[in-house]
Chain A
Amino acid sequence: MNQTGRTKQNQRGIRLTAGAMVVVVSAMGGLVVASEPLYKLFCQVTGYGGTPRIAEGQISSGVVAETMTVRFDSNVNRDLAWKFRPAATQVNVQIGEEALAFYEAKNVSGETLVGTATFNVMPERAAPYFNKIQCFCFTEQVLKPGETVQMPVTFFIDPDILKDQYARNIKTVTLSYTFFLNQDQSKAQTTHQANYSN
Chain B
Amino acid sequence: MADTHAHAHGHNDHADHGHHPTGWRRWMYSTNHKDIGTLYLVLAIVASFVGVGFSMMMRLELAEPGLQFIRDQHFYNVLLTAHGLIMVFFVVMPALIGGFGNWFIPLMIGCPDMAFPRMNNISFWLTAVGLILVATSTVIGGGAGTGWTVYPPLSNHTFHPGMSVDFAILSLHVAGAASILGAINFITTIVNMRAPGMTFHRMPLFIWSMLVTAFLLLLALPVLAGALTMLLTDRNFGTAFFEPSGGGDPIFWQHLFWFFGHPEVYIMIIPAFGIVSQVVSTFSKKPVFGYLGMAYAMVSIGFVGFVVWAHHMFTVGFNVETRAYFIIATMIIAVPTGIKIFSWLATMWGGSIEFKTPMLYAMGFIFLFVVGGVTGVTLSNAPVDMAFHDTYFVIAHFHYVLSIAAMYAIFTGMYYWLPKMSGRMYNEKLGQWQFWITFVGVNVLFFPQHFLGMAGMPRRIADYPDAFAGWNMVSSGGAVISLVGALLFFYILWDTLRNGAKAPANPWGVGANTLEWTVDSPAPFHTHEVLPVITAEPAGSHH
Binding site for B on A (CB under 8 A): 1, 3-6, 10, 13-14, 17-18, 21-22, 24-25, 28-29, 31-33, 35-36, 39, 43, 49, 77, 116, 118, 124-125, 166, 178, 180-183
Complex CA distance for A32 and B253, rounded to whole angstroms: 11
B191 within 8 A of partner (CB)? yes
Query: Chain B's interface: helix, strand, loop or mixed, by majority?
Result: helix
Complex CA distance for A164 and B109, rounded to whole angstroms: 58
- Residues of chain A within 8 A (CB-CB) of B320 are 166
- Residues of chain B within 8 A (CB-CB) of A22 are 184
B115 and A18 within 8 A (CB): yes
B350 within 8 A of partner (CB)? no
B255 within 8 A of partner (CB)? yes
B173-197: CB near A (< 8 Å → 1, else 0) gives 0000000100110011001110000
B245 and A183 within 8 A (CB): yes
B42-50, B140-148, B218-226, B372-380: which one contacts chain A?
A: B218-226
Complex CA distance for A35 and B223, rounded to whole angstroms: 10
- Residues of chain A within 8 A (CB-CB) of B255 are 39
B351 within 8 A of partner (CB)? no
Least CB separation from A115: chain B residue = B245
- Leading 5 A-B pairs by shortest Cβ distance: A32-B226, A180-B245, A28-B222, A13-B192, A21-B184
Least CB separation from A46: chain B residue = B319
Least CB separation from B185: chain A residue = A18
B223 CB contact (under 8 Å) in A13, A31, A125, A166 = A31
Complex CA distance for A6 and B187, rounded to whole angstroms: 16
Least CB separation from A43: chain B residue = B249
- Residues of chain A within 8 A (CB-CB) of B183 are 21
A39 and B252 within 8 A (CB): yes
- Residues of chain B within 8 A (CB-CB) of A28 are 218-219, 222-223
B218 CB contact (under 8 Å) in A24, A39, A116 = A24
- Residues of chain B within 8 A (CB-CB) of A183 are 238, 240, 245-246
A24 and B251 within 8 A (CB): no
Complex CA distance for A67 and B137, rounded to whole angstroms: 56
A35 and B226 within 8 A (CB): yes
A5 and B112 within 8 A (CB): yes
- Residues of chain A within 8 A (CB-CB) of B113 are 4
Question: Could you tell me the distance in whole angstroms from the C-beta of B332 to the nearest C-beta in chain A?
Answer: 23
B111 within 8 A of partner (CB)? yes
Complex CA distance for A79 and B471, rounded to whole angstroms: 44
- Residues of chain A within 8 A (CB-CB) of B256 are 32, 35
Least CB separation from B251: chain A residue = A49
Complex CA distance for A12 and B436, rounded to whole angstroms: 50
- Residues of chain A within 8 A (CB-CB) of B465 are none
